[in-house]
Amino acid sequence: MDRLVIPAVFDMHQHLRQGADAVYFLKWVDRVCDVALVMPNTVVGHGLEGPITTAERLNQYRTLLERAVPDRKAHLVWTLYLTEETTPEMIRAAAAAGATGYKIYPRGETTNSDQGIREAVLRDLRHPFWRAIEEIQNVGGVVNHHGEIPGADVYDAERKYCSVIDAVCREYPKLRQVVEHVTTADMVQNIREWREEDRPIAGTITAHHLCLTLNDVVGQTHNFCKPVAKGTKDRDALISAATGWSDGFFFGSDAAPHHRTKKVSNEFQPACAGCWTTPVMVQLVAQVFDKLNCLDRLPRFLRTNAKTFYNIQGEPSRTLTLERKPWWNTYRSGYVPFWFDKLLDWRVAELDEIPNFHTGPNRPTMEV
Ligand code: DOR
Ligand code: ZN
């Protein structure tokens, strides 16, 4: 198969940031997505007072983004950032303001997670924080886990988080949960088992975790994100989850742009975690599915599994045309896209007008 038409994508994990940059990121999302779940770890500035921890901030953020690209086709779905101070009343207010997802950031584990939840609270289901979780179950919301134990060794942090989710599954059997950006074979297996026990749980998988192992991350800052990519067996488990027949895995890019000056570490700063995949995510996923000869299952992973889990109505607003055509991603901006200066096998025809997406088997000469 050299040409394939698929419906526009559901990306169930996007960082759109704020200010002028958000306009830019949202325009990129709008080129390929019908739906994007917007992450709440925003910072102070550009009309916001910090992360989206209240219904009021959610309303402010929505107004900012909706004004940013008024003619967009992509539908934005909203999340609330949970803190240890989030109350059941705040959950009801957020639900009334249109929140669908409620994000648990273990404190200190990733970008802007310092108002997140400490491990001791994650493990103590009698802490008042859990009344908020119970309310999320009552309002029919979804808890989105950044599934890593803070301070654990990076290769163990996700595996150790499985016991947190296990306890939540037992305490709140009807609570809808998504384990975001799954990176380990252990978590894939656990999600399968929880689903066999009829827990309404699913996992998102990113494009970059389908392509990387830890070997690709060491010393390569544009491949560095949280959770970090793990070993080959883990990556293979992700590939089989994404390409398999389970409804329990769907796409969430975790596209997380940081300016190129923030992606480098030096004597004054560590590198920020995050891969900005939006310009190449569909092409990369197509490449992975193509290798396993299952391009026909691409719409399940990129759209329908998420549509069913989140119960999002509506027909595709448009289609994307994928063509087998080698091209070099040399698209340049202040934000270096993932897979920069690397060859891809699949191209999205609708992105053909974007400058610097070079079709052809030879690496283009670059002006720096
Ligand atoms: O790599 C990451 N970057 N992981 C996250 O969980 C957050 C994200 C960001 O916001 O930069
Ligand atoms: Zn994220």
Residue nearest to atom 3 of ligand 1 (CA): 274
User: Average pLDDT for residues 348-363, to the nearest whole number?
Assistant: 88
Instruction: Supply the pLDDT for residue 363.
Output: 87
Buried-exposed string 139-152: b where 16+ CB fall within 10 A, e elsewhere? eebbbbbbbbbbeb
**pLDDT tens per residue, range 2-47:** 999 999 999 999 999 999 999 999 999 999 999 999 999 999 999 8
Instruction: Supply the pLDDT for residue 367.
Output: 61
Q: Is 110 in the pocket of ligand 1 (CB under 6 A)?
A: yes
Q: Is 137 in the pocket of ligand 1 (CB under 6 A)?
A: no
| The model scores a pTM over 0.95 | yes
Band (pLDDT 50/70/90 cuts) for residue 92 is: very high
CA of 130 to the centre of ligand 1 (A): 24
**Which residues lie below 8 Å from residue 96, measured CB to CB, with a gap of 6+?**
55
Q: Is 209 in the pocket of ligand 1 (CB under 6 A)?
A: no
CA of 367 to the centre of ligand 2 (A): 32
Give the side-chain half-sphere CA count within 13 A for 53: 19
Alpha-carbon dihedral 143, 198, 162, 94, rounded to 10 degrees: 10
Instruction: Supply the pLDDT for residue 332.
Output: 87
Instruction: Supply the pLDDT for residue 327.
Output: 92
User: Average pLDDT for residues 148-159, to the nearest whole number?
Assistant: 96
368, pLDDT greater than 70 = no
**pLDDT tens per residue, range 236-246:** 999 999 999 99
Q: Is 43 in the pocket of ligand 1 (CB under 6 A)?
A: no
E-only strand ranges, the chain: 3-7, 9-14, 33-38, 44-45, 48-49, 75-81, 99-104, 142-145, 176-179, 201-205, 249-251, 319-329, 343-348, 357-359
User: Quick one: which ligand is closest to 43's CA?
Assistant: 1
CA of 226 to the centre of ligand 1 (A): 6
Pocket test of ligand 1: the residue of 115, 254, 259, 260 to mutate, having most ligand atoms within 8 Å of its CB, is 254
User: Average pLDDT for residues 330-338, to the nearest whole number?
Assistant: 93
Which atom in ligand 1 lies closest to the alpha carbon of residue 112? 10
Q: Is 225 in the pocket of ligand 1 (CB under 6 A)?
A: yes
Q: Is 7 in the pocket of ligand 1 (CB under 6 A)?
A: no
